[in-house]
Amino acid sequence: MSGNEIVTDVVVIGAGPCGLFAAFELGLLDLKCHFIDILDRPGGQCAELYPEKPIYDIPGFPMITGQGLTENLMAQIAPFAPEFHFNRMVNSITKQDDGSFVLVTDADEVFHAKVVVIAAGGGSFQPKRPPVDGIEQYENKSVFYSVRKMDDFRDQDVVIVGGGDSALDWTLNLQPIVRSLTLVHRRDAFKAAPASVNKMKELVMEGKINFLLGQIAKLDGENGQINHVHLTTDAGDLSVPATRLLPFFGLTMKLGPVADWGLELNDNLIVVDTEKFETSVPGVFAIGDINTYPGKLKLILSGFHEAALMAQRAKKIISPDERVVFQYTTSSTKLQKKLGVA
Amino acid sequence: MKILVTDQVGTEHELEGLEGWRVMEVIRDWGLNIKAECGGALSCATCHVYVDKSWLDVVGAPSDEEEDMLDSVGDVRSNSRLSCQLLMSDALDGLKLTLAPSAAKEEAA
């Protein structure tokens, strides 16, 4: 086993509210968690979709924001020191002969875990693909959803689509190195830092970039290389010569590799029982929005309940001979010691 | 009260809804192809619909926040709306709309 392989009791896939709370329930049972999440921070949908929006149905909180809930959960699980691996996606889960699991991420990291908890919500957040026929054949060759290496854009004819911070920031950052740059947005209003918008407008005035009001309709090219982007605009259809396209339409949730893990699925949800919230593969659990069972409600509070029951079963798998006494945090000195309050 | 919804493959559905329901919720509960991933929090644009032109005046214009969210889909038209922002009422009884391609769910694995 090489040094960068991680051995732990439990890998939790997804650091949204239900996954985070799972670390609490598992921690009370002395189980150590590692989180893997495709986002760059904890909170899942609470962080990505509605950090500022109020939530009214968390028990004990008449109102809390997505961000507030995430912060509280992070504080609640801090005593158990879970470890976080962000900006990564689990590609594969393989069951070993001894019943444990090996997980490999898209960054080629290897995790060894006795139990896997899938708390992946609506799947992994991935860039939204614009509704343009055949765009797949150009992806990662001449159509990119993020800039990994600026050099890929040097001396290219670049079209950037979108009106948010990503579109504006990359317009400003790439402009000095490209051959030509066209920013395309559907309207003359931007949801981006005003300073960036002003800078972009200056570049347009100086003739250094083009700005077009419109939407992408079609791509021309061959062998993965685009050569023209066709736009629909109020003034009619336009064709812009382009060798690189960067659409920035934000993120959407996609099931992703979960579909290939050999778990029983129903309409892209993972089928679990309601006693242990275990999937069709013993030792792999699914909690929160990603699971389904009769009567399932996609509520954060349901995921909290599921986490508690899952943890009991996970403990039995990991420590089959240990006798576990059910205890309350209010009265158990042992639990309070674990929480660092006794 | 009813709404008339044409889905992404061109099939028309007559859906019964209740006063105060979001149009998105009616479409979702009848099992049509709408992702609606944020659940109505005006935080995504995956309940995007095209309102029939004859209904545009009744439905009215989107708010600034809704316009901002519409920036995250690539198939916006002049009659685009997010259906989570339309509330069922007597005034909208008979509303006609079409589901946008960008509202489609991921195909089941």
> pTM here?
0.89
Q: Which two tokens stand for residue A54?
A: 């109020």
Residue-level pLDDT at A313:
97
The whole-angstrom separation of Cα B84 and Cα A109 is 40
Q: Is position A57 within any domain?
A: yes
Q: Which residues of A touch B108 (CB under 8 A)?
A: 265, 267-268
pLDDT one-digit tens code per residue, A212-263: 999 999 999 999 999 999 999 888 999 999 999 999 999 999 999 999 999 9
Instruction: Name the residue facing B71 among A50, A131, A163 (closest C-beta).
Output: A163
Handedness of CA A333, A9, A292, A300 (dihedral sign): positive
The whole-angstrom separation of Cα A134 and Cα A92 is 28
The reply to whether A197 and A228 lie within a common domain is yes
Q: Is A117 annotated as a binding residue?
A: no
Alpha carbon distances (Å) from A115 to A9, A81, A168, A191: 6, 18, 43, 43
Beta carbons of B2 and B15 less than 8 angstroms apart: yes
* B55 Cβ contact list (under 8 Å, min separation 6): B92, B95, B96, B97
Q: Is position A43 within any domain?
A: yes
**In sequence order, what are the beta bridge partners of B48?**
B82
Number of domains in chain A: 2
The reply to whether A109 and A171 lie within a common domain is no
Contact assignment for A267 to B35 by CB distance below 8 Å? no
Burial of B11 (0-12, 13-18, 19+ CB in 10 A): exposed
DSSP assignment letter at B42: S
Residue-level pLDDT at A321:
95
The whole-angstrom separation of Cα A182 and Cα A203 is 11
Q: CB contact, 8 Å: A267 with chain B?
A: yes
Contact assignment for A247 to B101 by CB distance below 8 Å? no
pLDDT one-digit tens code per residue, B65-108: 999 999 999 999 999 999 999 999 999 999 999 999 999 998 76
Residue A4 has pLDDT above 80, yes or no: no
The residue from A249, A278, A308 where one domain ends is A249
The residue from A215, A233, A249 where one domain ends is A249
Q: Which domains does chain B have, with CATH numbers?
A: 2-103 (3.10.20.30)
pLDDT band with cut points at 50, 70 and 90 for residue A274: very high
The reply to whether A117 and A190 lie within a common domain is no
The reply to whether A49 and A20 lie within a common domain is yes
The reply to whether A210 and A232 lie within a common domain is yes
The reply to whether A239 and A147 lie within a common domain is yes
The reply to whether A119 and A258 lie within a common domain is yes
The residue from A249, A278, A310 where one domain ends is A249
CATH number of the domain at A300, please. 3.50.50.60
**In sequence order, what are the beta bridge partners of A33?**
A10
Q: Is position A1 within any domain?
A: no
The whole-angstrom separation of Cα A170 and Cα A183 is 10
Is the ipTM higher than 0.95? The answer is no
Q: What residue numbers bound the domain in which A212 lies? A: 129-249
